[in-house]
Structure 1
Amino acid sequence: MSHVPVVIAGGGTVGLATAVFLGHHGVPSLVVERRPAPSEHPRALGISPRTLEFFHEVGLGREMAAAAVRSAELWRAEARTVAEIDRTPAPSGRAAPPAASAVSPEVPHGHYPQNRIDAVLLPAARERGATVEFGVAVTDVAQDADAVTVTLSDGRVVTADHLIGADGIRGTVRDALGVTTTGPGEIGDVTMNILFDADLVGAFGTMPVMTRITHPDAPGILLAVGERRWVLHVVFPEPEPSPERCARAVRTAIGADIPVEVVSVLPWRAIVRMADTFRRGRAFLVGDAARAVSPLGAFGLNTGLADAHNLAWKLAMVHSGQAGDRLLDSYHDERHAVAQLVTRQALLRWHDPRLHWDPAAVAERRAVGAWNASVVVMGHRYASSAVIDPVVRVPSTEDVEACFDAAPGSRVPHRVLGGADVSTVYLPRSRFAVLTGPAGDDWCAAAGRTAAALGTEVRAVKLDAPTAASMGLQPDGVLLLRPDAFIAWRSRGPADTARLTEVLAAVTGRG
């Protein structure tokens, strides 16, 4: 019986990302995926700036930028067919080109189909110490106080310190752990995801990244997923349309006689369901295994990758002896609350898409409790044992920049440090960090003493006066940043080594 530090059930995007994030922190893993190979279907497309921050942190910023699809323009159209798209709206009617952001050091270079993300993550996971096997599934799980025993479909039995279920909404790990779920389950109609090749840009000159097709014989959503590759999401009256029927729907949606090659067809149906706990002993759930949400809003993939990022640094600290087991409880406390928020917001959009697509629908969002999408993805707060005195209420549900106010439980505000061309978001370098003002020499010294006392690496960074002031930080104040750049603690008082040590011990589950 072999032993590995972590077994990850599921080698989709979230499972592979979990392996990359763990490997970045020095923790090897075994990833098993029941499918024989990575999926060629693009599935989700929208990646948030926050998710790009994760990839930058682990050294994959350039690779992800290269994977982005840039052939279609970043705007949304509605037309009877592709041929009838109005390509002459005023520039104000289209999305602005990417520009420097006030809230993140990362700006999307295009859109990011999951198959392209997977093509980056698979070799990256292996380069960082993961073993990834396809055609193998987890069939049974048992655990005690010391280890998790995992039975695989090929007959092997593996023991691990921890197990991560990333095997999707219909995976085996959640049920094997006895974790119950809550939610309505399947909603809406079965939709056919028709993947096809066609030179639409060459035929029509410009193409939006998303088009709502209103033709009565092929109503659906057309998405750009490659330089000459597209997906048409369409609902058919018949339950199992033939390949010829799918091809005819594509040609109808295009509305012009140009060559089309259907690559494959994947049926799907929206599912809304959430695990009642994201931790069971030494096992954890991430991504769709933890919660599945309705697709409008592009919240699902971003939320799953944030699950993986949150769990990875905490597991790594426990494996290295720099944190206690209590830190792992904060994974459920933080991510389950976010999952509840995201599920609620996605369902509101499912019933009224205008809440998502119309920037002017502020009053309508306020009336039903809907948040601006950027606040859902980036502005949420954490409240757990890994945050001291969290400020849970967001300052605004519309203005994401207002949510980055340096309150405990929020992600640190993005500020570019003068002369260094580095964002405050990246200052922790995957470790704990103390940020202090220009008069914070004593806090820097306290950080060194705290690191030595606890055996936990703590960076100390002194900010210049304008940067500190812009974050509401007094000249001798301090922020304690977690490895994920969330603020664990804020103090406006003079340096206090004993208090800093007490705080860091509590945050890392040893206090």
Structure 2
Amino acid sequence: MSDQRVIIVGGGSVGLAAAVFLTRHGVTPLVLERQPGISVHPRATGLGPRTMEFLRQAGLEQAVNEVAVDMSAGGAVKMSMHTLASADLSTAAPSAVVGNVWGRSDPSPARLRGVCPQHRLDSVLLPAARDGGARVRFSARVNACAIESGGVAVTLDNGESFDAEYLIAADGVRSTVREQLGIDVGGPGALGEPTVSILFRADLTRYTAGRHFVNCTITNPDAPGLLVTIDGEKEWIFHTRADDMTGVATHFTEERCREHIRVAVGDPGVPVEVVSVLPWRPRGQFAERFGQSRAFLVGDAAHTVPPIGAFGLNTGMADAHNLAWKLAAVLRGDAGPGLLDTYDAERRPVAAMTLAQAMIRLADPTLHWDANATERRAAAGALHAPVVHLGYRYDSTAVIDPNPDLPSTEDVLADLDGTPGSRLPHHRLPGGASTVDLIGTHCTVLAGTHRWIAAASEAADRLGIRVDSHIIPLPRNEFHAWASSVGIEPDGALLVRPDHIIAARIPTTPPAPVRLLDRMLTRILAR
């Protein structure tokens, strides 16, 4: 028997990220992962800007970019061709990876330089979690869990048991924890044809000519599928149709995999090493609730999204980030347990929107990839990708006067306008930092006058918690323009949560700012 405050079941990317985010707040969880180590077979490669903001806040942006495939010099987001050898990439016009997605202006201070397969991301998250004090145990298969008086209990298949105050289930689409808790799932379920994912090594540089792409649809009817960049040179994944979901190992022998890959590449003699073969099928799945008492679902345990638009992994990372600061606030006594109710209230609607957007794109992927498909997106009810990744808004008791309606389905900058419940707008500050970088591990007051700094300090003392505060370091005229852009007067302020979400606008300085902040923080933190 061992005691800790938080147990995370599942040590994939979302589980490890949850551990990293918790350690930043001084909570050192136990992570239990059934696999013997980090998976070598990545299931996702795209990290969105919101995820990169989380990693930037955790001090990991540079480390993740260092292990990512560098496409900053130009590359195609998506290509389609008969075989890889049938196109001369050396003559293709370069295009920035983000150029056809993010539009006229940059809404975020953080960006991945290309693609980062999950096993590379995990190679950063695992040591970061351990360095922060988290314990990560592999080959730890959970077969039972229960919510008990004042905590949770987890039992492994070897009989070993653990107690904790809270449990985070990051154990995937077939979540043992979700099943044990009796939480049902809904949604469309299995989608499309059974598929096999083949991780292989082959030197394809003679065909890529030093150019990169995120993925390439192979239209050759003898080996149709999707070629996905892992390192852009010698490591790749090929997704192709499976005969069924049960006979993959029998039907997709190493030799058959090599033959498929050679046909897709267009070179019958290219040496191919098959590393791993995984059967899978796109799914749309949604838990009926994301939390139950002291247990919470994140990532694929809560929602499974078809793999288009890089929505799945990134939505899971946002789950972990949202939950981590709330758990930490409750554990250190800054917030009441009611704050944890806002996890489901905030994340379920966003995950439902994300699943709906993925389903729309599954019917017509060009709605995602074509930046000029504005009218077709509007007709189909599809939001532009930046809006899905960054523009969502929360509506819960942890936001004062929220407005969940989006003013724009195409321009994410219009959605990031300072409305409570939306992410703090990115504004570049002198020295190169961003307004987003001003937000740490506690609620933060952003203002242009020192009166708010004193008020924040006094309110924090009265409540017995920590509240950060910053004077926005901008020249007077630029500050006035910034204040106007976020919907406050120059003598007003923003109250921002640790997840960069605006908790409240304060349009102008009231007669009693300390009492106002006291009331706002008490409400937001459910004290």
User: Are positions 1:248 and 2:263 aligned together?
Assistant: no
Which one of 451, 462, 471 corresponds to residue 460 of structure 2? 451
Counterpart residue type for residue 378 of structure 1: L
Cα deviation 1:51-103 (Å, max 9, x = unaligned): 11111111112210111012793432111000112533444697649999631
Q: Give the Å deviation of 1:198.
A: 1.4
Residues 204 and 69 (structure 1 numbering): CA distance in 2 closer, same or farther, change over 3 Å?
A: closer
Aligned to 1:230: 236
Q: Give the Å deviation of 1:378.
A: 0.6
For residues 122-201 of structure 1, the aligned pairs below 5 Å read 122-201=126-205
Is the contact made by 1:218 and 1:252 (CA closer than 8 Å) also made in structure 2? Answer: yes
Q: Give the Å deviation of 1:260.
A: 1.8
Aligned to 1:81: 83
User: Are positions 1:349 and 2:390 aligned together?
Assistant: no
Q: Give the Å deviation of 1:207.
A: 4.1
Please give the alpha-carbon distance, in whole angstroms, between the structure 1 residues aligned to 2:96 and 2:499.
36
Is the contact made by 1:194 and 1:265 (CA closer than 8 Å) also made in structure 2? Answer: yes
Counterpart residue type for residue 486 of structure 1: I
Please give the alpha-carbon distance, in whole angstroms, between the structure 2 residues aligned to 1:147 and 1:259.
54
- Scaled by the length of structure 1, the TM-score of the pair is 0.96
Q: Give the Å deviation of 1:259.
A: 2.0
Please give the alpha-carbon distance, in whole angstroms, between the structure 2 residues aligned to 1:492 and 1:370.
33
Please give the alpha-carbon distance, in whole angstroms, between the structure 1 residues aligned to 2:159 and 2:187.
34
Aligned to 1:218: 223
> Which segment is superposed worse, 485-494 or 138-147?
138-147
Aligned to 1:106: 110
- The percentage of aligned residue pairs carrying the same residue is 47
User: Are positions 1:503 and 2:520 aligned together?
Assistant: yes
Q: Is the partner of 2:174 in helix, strand or coil? A: coil
Q: Is the partner of 2:406 in helix, strand or coil? A: coil
User: Are positions 1:53 and 2:81 aligned together?
Assistant: no
Counterpart residue type for residue 454 of structure 2: A
> Which segment is superposed worse, 56-65 or 339-348?
56-65
Please give the alpha-carbon distance, in whole angstroms, between the structure 2 residues aligned to 1:381 and 1:412.
11
Please give the alpha-carbon distance, in whole angstroms, between the structure 2 residues aligned to 1:492 and 1:33.
47
For residues 42-441 of structure 1, the aligned pairs below 5 Å read 42-70=42-70, 73-87=75-89, 88-91=91-94, 96=99, 102-205=106-209, 206-226=211-231, 227-237=233-243, 239-240=247-248, 241=251, 242-256=253-267, 257-418=269-430, 420-437=431-448, 440-441=449-450
Q: Give the Å deviation of 1:317.
A: 0.6
Please give the alpha-carbon distance, in whole angstroms, between the structure 2 residues aligned to 1:367 and 1:13.
35
Please give the alpha-carbon distance, in whole angstroms, between the structure 2 residues aligned to 1:447 and 1:199.
58
Which one of 491, 496, 504 corresponds to residue 476 of structure 1? 491
> Which segment is superposed worse, 158-167 or 453-462?
453-462
Cα deviation 1:302-340 (Å, max 9, x = unaligned): 000000000001000111001110110011100001111
Please give the alpha-carbon distance, in whole angstroms, between the structure 2 residues aligned to 1:308 and 1:95.
25
Counterpart residue type for residue 434 of structure 2: S
Please give the alpha-carbon distance, in whole angstroms, between the structure 2 residues aligned to 1:285 and 1:407.
28
Please give the alpha-carbon distance, in whole angstroms, between the structure 2 residues aligned to 1:371 and 1:404.
15
Please give the alpha-carbon distance, in whole angstroms, between the structure 1 residues aligned to 2:122 and 2:355.
25
Q: Is the partner of 1:17 in helix, strand or coil? A: helix
Aligned to 2:27: 27
Please give the alpha-carbon distance, in whole angstroms, between the structure 1 residues aligned to 2:271 and 2:34.
35
Please give the alpha-carbon distance, in whole angstroms, between the structure 1 residues aligned to 2:436 and 2:318.
15
Please give the alpha-carbon distance, in whole angstroms, between the structure 2 residues aligned to 1:291 and 1:155.
29
Q: Is the partner of 1:430 in helix, strand or coil? A: coil
Q: Is the partner of 1:410 in helix, strand or coil? A: coil
User: Are positions 1:41 and 2:41 aligned together?
Assistant: yes
What stretches of structure 1 of length at least 5 have no aligned partner?
none
Please give the alpha-carbon distance, in whole angstroms, between the structure 2 residues aligned to 1:119 and 1:4.
25
Residues 391 and 153 (structure 1 numbering): CA distance in 2 closer, same or farther, change over 3 Å?
A: same
Cα deviation 1:411-466 (Å, max 9, x = unaligned): 01101222x432111112222111112xx222221111111111221122122331
Is the contact made by 1:405 and 1:471 (CA closer than 8 Å) also made in structure 2? Answer: no
Please give the alpha-carbon distance, in whole angstroms, between the structure 2 residues aligned to 1:48 and 1:400.
14
- Scaled by the length of structure 2, the TM-score of the pair is 0.93
What stretches of structure 2 of length at least 5 have no aligned partner?
none
Please give the alpha-carbon distance, in whole angstroms, between the structure 1 residues aligned to 2:88 and 2:99.
18
Counterpart residue type for residue 523 of structure 2: A
Residues 98 and 182 (structure 1 numbering): CA distance in 2 closer, same or farther, change over 3 Å?
A: closer
Please give the alpha-carbon distance, in whole angstroms, between the structure 2 residues aligned to 1:458 and 1:468.
24
Is the contact made by 1:413 and 1:471 (CA closer than 8 Å) also made in structure 2? Answer: no
Residues 363 and 203 (structure 1 numbering): CA distance in 2 closer, same or farther, change over 3 Å?
A: closer
> Which segment is superposed worse, 402-411 or 462-471?
462-471
Counterpart residue type for residue 218 of structure 1: A
Is the contact made by 2:76 and 2:94 (CA closer than 8 Å) also made in structure 1? Answer: no
Please give the alpha-carbon distance, in whole angstroms, between the structure 2 residues aligned to 1:309 and 1:192.
31
Is the contact made by 1:415 and 1:467 (CA closer than 8 Å) also made in structure 2? Answer: no
Q: Give the Å deviation of 1:117.
A: 0.6
